[in-house]
Amino acid sequence: MSEIPNSNLTNIQYLESTEEGFILPPDFLGKLKVALWSVLTYEYCQQAAFVLVDGKQRTLISKVSFDESSRKGKGIDPPKGDLFQEIPLNFLVLGKTVGLQFTGLSQSLDRKNMKRIQRLFGNLESALFADTPSIHFEERNKGSQTESEAKYQTLLQNMLNAVVYHDRSGKITYANPAAERILGLTHEQIFGKTSMDPDWKAVYENGREFHGQDHPAMQVLRTGKPVNNVVMGIQPGKAKKITWILINAIPEISENSAEVSQVLVTFSDITQIKAIERKIEEKAAVLRSIIESSTESIWAVNIQLKLRYANTKFVKFCQNSTGKTISIGDPILDFVQEDKRDFWRENYQKVFEGEFLEINDCYQTKKGIEHYRVNINPVYSSGKIIGASVFAMNVTELEQSMHTIRRQNERFREISWLQSHVIRAPLARLMGLVNLLIDHSDWSQIDQSNLLDKMKKASHEIDKVIREISHKSEDLM
> How do residues 173-203 score in pLDDT, each as one tens digit?
888 888 888 888 877 788 778 887 777 788 9
373 with 231, same domain: the answer is no
Q: Are residues 120 and 175 in the same domain?
A: no
Burial of 346 from C-beta contacts in 10 A (0-12 / 13-18 / 19+) = exposed
pLDDT given at position 152: 67
The structural domain count of the chain equals 4
Residues 34-69: tens digit of each pLDDT = 788 777 777 778 888 888 876 667 888 888 876 644
Instruction: Name which of 186, 182, 375 is nearest 265 in CA terms.
Output: 182
Name the least confident of 68-77, 219-228, 338-347, 363-372: 68-77
Residues 413-469 have pLDDT tens digits of 776 666 666 666 677 777 776 776 666 656 666 666 777 777 777 777 777 777 776
pLDDT of residue 452: 72
Same domain membership, residue 66 and residue 151 = yes
Which CATH number do you get for residue 349? 3.30.450.20
Of 370, 394, 418, the residue at which a domain comes to its end is 394
Same domain, 82 and 193: no
State whether 341 and 463 are in the same domain: no
Q: Is the pLDDT of residue 284 over 70?
A: yes
User: Do 38 and 110 reside in the same domain of the chain?
Assistant: yes
The residues with which 102 forms a beta bridge, in sequence order, are 48, 85
Residue 104 lies in a domain: yes
128 in the same domain as 46: yes
Question: 349 with 269, same domain?
Answer: no
d(CA 104, CA 78): 9
Q: By residue range, what is the domain housing residue 108?
A: 2-157
| 123 in the same domain as 25 | yes
Rounded to the nearest integer, the mean pLDDT of the chain is: 76
Residue 112 is assigned to a structural domain of this protein? yes
Query: Is residue 289 in some structural domain?
Result: no
pTM above 0.85, yes or no: no
Judgement on whether residues 144 and 44 belong to the same structural domain of the protein: yes
- Whether 284 is in a domain gets the answer no
